[in-house]
Amino acid sequence: MSEHRLYARERPPAEILIQGAHVLDPRTTIDEPTDIVIREGKIAELGAPGSLPQPPDGELIDATGKHAFPAFFDPHVHLRTPGQEYKEDLESATSAAAAGGFCGVIAMPNTDPVLDQAAILGSLIEAAKRQARVPVGVLASITRGLNGEELTEMAELRDAGALGFTDDGKPVVSAGMLRKALQYQRLCGGVVALHEEDPALSADGVMHEGAVSARLGMAGIPSISESTMIARDGALAYYEDARVNFQHLSCVESVAALQAAKELGAKVSAEATPHHLTLTDDLVRTLDSRFKMNPPLRGRRDRKALVDGIRSGLIDCIATDHAPHASHEKEVPFEQAAMGTTGLETSFSAVYTELVMSGELDLAILVERMSAGAGLYDLPTPLIAVDEPANLCLVDLEAAWEVGAGGYVSRSSNCCFHGRSLHSRVVLTIAGGAVVFRERMLTEAGALSAT
Amino acid sequence: MNANGGRIGRHLISIDDLDRAGIERILDRAESFAEVSGREIKKVPALRGRTVVNLFYEASTRTSSSFELAAKRLSADVVSIRSAGSSVDKGESLKDTVQTLSAYDPAAIVIRSPHAGAAQLVAGWTEASVVNAGDGKHEHPTQALLDVFTLRRRLGSLDGANIWIVGDVLHSRVARSNILAFTRMGAIVTVAGPPTLIPRDIEALGCDSSATLDRLEAADVVYVLRMQQERMRESFVPSLREYAARYQINPARLSRRQLLMHPGPVNRGVELSAEAIDSPQAMIGEQVKAGVAVRMAVLYELLVGSPILAAVA
């Protein structure tokens, strides 16, 4: 097992001088033009622009006008491997992650078969070591086959490399079952991540319950189907002194329930997705199935509460819930369409365009929340500091692009930002000390050509 | 003939596709086709040589037959496909079915589907004009148009009319299209029914809502929705008996000056008492009769009476 339970194909360590980038790392409080020397995959030196030498046999990248951020980390990705490779596979998903500036992702276990046995988990990890472009961590399921009825062999799954456990895609409906998992966590460790939804309330809903569902005549998923479960499980986590991560919060009531659990002293954390932070259910009026996901896009108050939560840190991190689906699963009437949107390639740009450029969120906070997911799973947080492994991305904040116009790196095109004009673009990603993504404009000669 | 404007697009997916003038243009056109329906030879050559495909993914008697008659009375060639026994039954996707049918170069595709948004999807896959004959619980615009047509004939105008829509609004596409169409024509709409069957935030559509019929006497028109048996099984209401006790429209609740409408088929003794159905205030038969003329008008306006041609005429 790797020291940090992250697995990727080995790549040659980078030897680079990045010159002239504006480095912004809120954790190390750098916020100025700084040159970065990367040697043997590590950040070897940081210095004033023009003060550092190019490594011998190393590359020079002129990053004038670009920003360098700690690379992003996504704790919530559906790799669709094993079993649903027609939607996505390890290579395509981690290439999409690299293009989005990520230096690590955590895979969800709702695959086919479900990651509920050490052998299945182990074979995915072996595949990641051969194919993954960026390091991949894996969550095993809490219950066998996601059936909500029997615990998996959690201790053995931990030994096999699981970072934690989740039945994501489904809630753990029984409080008794979840309580046992949280008790068992004391033996095996690992974070328990929860998709919160009371199926008795969400029933056959396909979108947020509100004025738009009333207009469209589609069954609603009420916000309380999520928030009542967060309240319940916050109480369970506190009672059992367990570590719980609430996945993809979507509504104002959930933010309140999270706050109550944190104030009580429960060891809980939470994610919000770029789409819930930037879009609302008003878009479902288009009947475009790209806007169908679970939890659903909600109202304006909900979106604002999530942004407030991200800003204050109550919500710990941004996670995409990258959920690829083949076109035939989406080119059907909205109610029949599969739930989910891709997100790896648009995560930073979408939030930057919709929240930072509009003044709703500070750039530094966005940069911090984009990588905060690593720490929630006891993984090292990417830092731009000397002697740290090189995990950073170069971003052109001035670049504008239309989502999907040049195709997608992901195998699937069900992106809720499709067709939207976004600002800012990742041009280089270094993950685990190796260059994993380089925009075409970033030429082999080592200079950024004019765009 | 009112030919001066009105917004009518290439398709009729939603009442939102029409402004008030557009609705009035269709209704005026329907008046002239109603006259055709009174003739011995009930046919005009407006769509001769053109093809209308009726694609019905849901059981329907009155809507499918009235669309079929409407197209035939306009002299169109009509192909009617029902999901049972067709390739739809063999698992063909909606997209593939529509693309296959589009190869016949139809002028219009009329679609009924159990899923919201199906008609809009079809419009993206074909060159034909698409008419929504009911998509899930979303909309049923031609039903709303024929209801407005029927009411306008009786009232002259809907301006200021107080219309109550009573019953299972949650599961009713008719309710949604009618709220939009009635309010667009100047009526004041209230929806009433068990709170479990009134969608949250329905007021955003521009109507009022009520959990009781206490203020029903204010209504000029009482529009009653069909109450389906399965709603009892799903616990939306505890029993038919309790539903009828609180919401059935019967002579005790209906005053003589009020008009009564229902989209059919009626559950006699549930949402309506037999006396109410057979009362002179009931316009249920007129609604059915209006269906053919209004659907002729819709097909005509979409396929022949394009805004440019209308302006020239």
**ipTM for the assembly:** 0.91
pLDDT over 70 (residue A144): yes
Q: Are A197 and A158 in contact (CB under 8 A)?
A: no
B159, B177, B155, B175: which is closest to B167 by C-alpha? B175
- Considering the domain boundaries, does residue B234 fall inside one? yes
pLDDT band at B285 (very low <50, low <70, confident <90, very high): very high
Whether residues B127 and B215 fall in one domain: no
- Considering the domain boundaries, does residue B145 fall inside one? yes
Whether residues B202 and B240 fall in one domain: yes
Whether residues A48 and A101 fall in one domain: no
Q: Pick the last residue of a domain from A376, A409, A428.
A: A376
CB contact under 8 A, A214 and B205: yes
Per-residue pLDDT, B235: 84
Chain centroid, CA B22 distance in Å: 16
- Considering the domain boundaries, does residue A77 fall inside one? yes
Q: Which residue's structure tokens are 């399921």?
A: A141
Distance from CA of B121 to the nearest CA of A (A): 7
Q: Pick the last residue of a domain from A376, A398, A415.
A: A376
pLDDT over 70 (residue B4): no
Q: Which of A210, A331, A336 sits opposite B115 (nearest CB)?
A: A336
What is the Cα gyration radius of chain B? 19
Whether residues A49 and A75 fall in one domain: no
pLDDT band at B1 (very low <50, low <70, confident <90, very high): very low
Whether residues A348 and A271 fall in one domain: yes
Whether residues A138 and A168 fall in one domain: yes
pLDDT over 60 (residue B310): no
CB contact under 8 A, B116 and A333: yes
CB contact under 8 A, A217 and B138: yes
Per-residue pLDDT, B61: 85
The mean pLDDT value for B266-290 works out to 94
Distance from CA of B201 to the nearest CA of A (A): 5
Per-residue pLDDT, B62: 87
Q: Each residue of A2-16: b (16+ CB within 10 Å) or e? A: eebbbbbbeeebbbb
Could you give the percent of chain B with pLDDT greater than 90?
Answer: 81
The mean pLDDT value for A269-298 works out to 98
Whether residues B129 and B161 fall in one domain: no
Residue A256 is classified by DSSP as H
Whether residues A152 and A106 fall in one domain: yes
- Considering the domain boundaries, does residue A414 fall inside one? yes
- Considering the domain boundaries, does residue A326 fall inside one? yes
pLDDT over 90 (residue B89): no
Distance from CA of B197 to the nearest CA of A (A): 11
CB contact under 8 A, B204 and A217: no
Where in the sequence is the domain holding B200, given as residue range(s)?
141-287
Per the structure, the count of domains in chain B is: 2
Locate the chain B residue with the closest alpha carbon to A335: B115
Higher pLDDT among residues A310 and A449, named by residue: A310
Q: Which of B116, B120, B200 sits opposite A218 (nearest CB)?
A: B116
The rounded mean pLDDT for chain B is 91
Whether residues B48 and B162 fall in one domain: no
pLDDT digits (tens, 9 = 90+) for A191-249: 999 999 999 999 999 999 999 999 999 999 999 999 999 999 999 999 999 999 999 99
Whether residues B164 and B54 fall in one domain: no
CATH of the domain at B295: 3.40.50.1370
pLDDT digits (tens, 9 = 90+) for A398-439: 999 999 999 999 999 999 999 999 999 999 999 999 999 998
The mean pLDDT value for B163-171 works out to 97
Per-residue pLDDT, A56: 86
> How many CB atoms are located within 10 Å of the residue A117 CB?
18
Higher pLDDT among residues B313 and A366, named by residue: A366
Q: What tokens were used for B63?
A: 């809507």
- Considering the domain boundaries, does residue B78 fall inside one? yes
Whether residues B146 and B283 fall in one domain: yes
Q: Pick the last residue of a domain from A324, A344, A376.
A: A376
Please give the full DSSP string across B277-289, using - where no structure is assigned: HTSTTB-HHHHHH
Per the structure, the count of domains in chain A is: 2
Whether residues A145 and A272 fall in one domain: yes
Cβ contacts (< 8 Å) between B118 and chain A: which residues? 333
- Considering the domain boundaries, does residue A144 fall inside one? yes
| Alpha helix ranges (H) inside A273-372 | 274-278, 300-312, 327-330, 347-351, 363-371
Interface of A with B (CB under 8 A): 209-211, 213-218, 220, 222, 287, 328, 331-336
Whether residues A76 and A38 fall in one domain: no
Q: Which of A213, A332, A334 sits opposite B199 (nearest CB)?
A: A213
Q: Are B168 and B192 in contact (CB under 8 A)?
A: no
The mean pLDDT value for B218-224 works out to 98
Active site residues of A: 321
Per-residue pLDDT, B88: 64
Q: What tokens were used for A405?
A: 């116009």
Chain A touched by B183 (CB under 8 Å): no
Per-residue pLDDT, B82: 86
Where in the sequence is the domain holding A61, given as residue range(s)?
16-68+388-438
Per-residue pLDDT, B231: 73
The mean pLDDT value for A263-284 works out to 98
**Best mutation target, B115, B126, B132, B180, to test chain A (most A CBs within 10 A):** B115
| pTM: predicted TM-score of the whole model, two decimal places | 0.94
Chain A touched by B116 (CB under 8 Å): yes
**Best mutation target, A225, A280, A336, to test chain B (most B CBs within 10 A):** A336
CATH of the domain at A329: 3.20.20.140
Whether residues A32 and A124 fall in one domain: no
Cβ contacts (< 8 Å) between A334 and chain B: which residues? 115-117
pLDDT over 90 (residue B234): no
- Considering the domain boundaries, does residue A444 fall inside one? no
- Considering the domain boundaries, does residue B2 fall inside one? no
- Considering the domain boundaries, does residue B248 fall inside one? yes
Higher pLDDT among residues A324 and B264, named by residue: A324
pLDDT digits (tens, 9 = 90+) for A92-119: 999 999 999 999 999 999 999 999 999 9
Sign, Cα dihedral of A99, A102, A108, A112: positive
Cβ contacts (< 8 Å) between A218 and chain B: which residues? 116, 136-138
- Considering the domain boundaries, does residue A447 fall inside one? no
- Considering the domain boundaries, does residue A3 fall inside one? no
Q: What are phi and psi of B190, to 5 degrees?
A: -125, 135
Per-residue pLDDT, B104: 92
Whether residues B148 and B283 fall in one domain: yes
Please state whether beta strands B77-82 and A136-140 pair in parallel, antiparallel, or not at all (unpaired): unpaired
Cβ contacts (< 8 Å) between A216 and chain B: which residues? 116-117, 138
CATH of the domain at A407: 2.30.40.10
pLDDT over 70 (residue A180): yes
Q: How far apart are CA B53 and CA B73, in angstroms?
A: 15
Whether residues B121 and B172 fall in one domain: no
Per-residue pLDDT, A201: 97
Whether residues A83 and A57 fall in one domain: no
Chain A touched by B201 (CB under 8 Å): yes
**Best mutation target, A216, A300, A328, to test chain B (most B CBs within 10 A):** A216
Cβ contacts (< 8 Å) between B171 and chain A: which residues? 217
pLDDT over 60 (residue B283): yes
- Considering the domain boundaries, does residue B309 fall inside one? no
Whether residues B215 and B275 fall in one domain: yes
Chain A touched by B11 (CB under 8 Å): no
Higher pLDDT among residues B240 and B12, named by residue: B12
Cβ contacts (< 8 Å) between B205 and chain A: which residues? 211, 214-215
Provide the 3-class DSSP secondary structure of residue B158.
coil
Whether residues A265 and A305 fall in one domain: yes
Whether residues B277 and B166 fall in one domain: yes
Cβ contacts (< 8 Å) between A209 and chain B: which residues? 200
Instruction: Count contacts between A and B (CB, < 8 Å).
Output: 68
Locate the chain B residue with the closest alpha carbon to A221: B200
Whether residues A92 and A134 fall in one domain: yes
pLDDT band at A444 (very low <50, low <70, confident <90, very high): very low
Q: Are A392 and A22 in contact (CB under 8 A)?
A: no
Whether residues B65 and B52 fall in one domain: yes
Whether residues B29 and B122 fall in one domain: yes
Q: How far apart are CA A166 and CA A108, in angstroms?
A: 7
- Considering the domain boundaries, does residue B279 fall inside one? yes
- Considering the domain boundaries, does residue A50 fall inside one? yes
pLDDT over 60 (residue A187): yes
pLDDT digits (tens, 9 = 90+) for B56-86: 998 888 899 999 999 999 999 999 998 766 6
- Considering the domain boundaries, does residue B147 fall inside one? yes
pLDDT digits (tens, 9 = 90+) for A347-400: 999 999 999 999 999 999 999 999 999 999 999 999 999 999 999 999 999 999
pLDDT over 60 (residue A316): yes
Whether residues A306 and A357 fall in one domain: yes
Per-residue pLDDT, B306: 53
Locate the chain A residue with the closest alpha carbon to B178: A215
Locate the chain A residue with the closest alpha carbon to B136: A217
